[in-house]
Amino acid sequence: MDKATARVPTAHGGKYIQQLCKHWSHKLQVEWTPASAVVRFERAVATMTADADALDVRIEAEDSETLARMKAVVASHLDRFAFREAPLAFDWRTGP
């Protein structure tokens, strides 16, 4: 399993989690609260947690190719909902 994490500076992480999860809940298995979410894709899982200063994103994928694709998917969708402050700064780190 390949993994990547990013801490994305924003004061609106909870809002973006809610918008993103409502958007994806039509096609994917999504569980969320105002401050956290788990989104299950076919070959990956994205976990997000918001606090007052940032949105923490963790993606676990079956392989490195899927991981690279899912990092781009999650970042582009979050940027779409965060259009007022986009592009968000994703400082991806790979590994455990």
Which sequence spans correspond to the domains of the chain?
2-84
Query: Tens digits of per-residue pLDDT, 13-54?
Result: 999 999 999 999 999 999 999 999 999 999 999 999 999 999
Q: For the chain, what percent of residues have pLDDT higher than 70?
A: 99
- What span, in angstroms and rounded, lies between the C-alpha atoms of 60 and 64? 10
2-84 maps to CATH 3.30.310.50: yes
User: What is this structure's pTM?
Assistant: 0.93
Give the largest CA-CA distance in the chain. Answer: 34
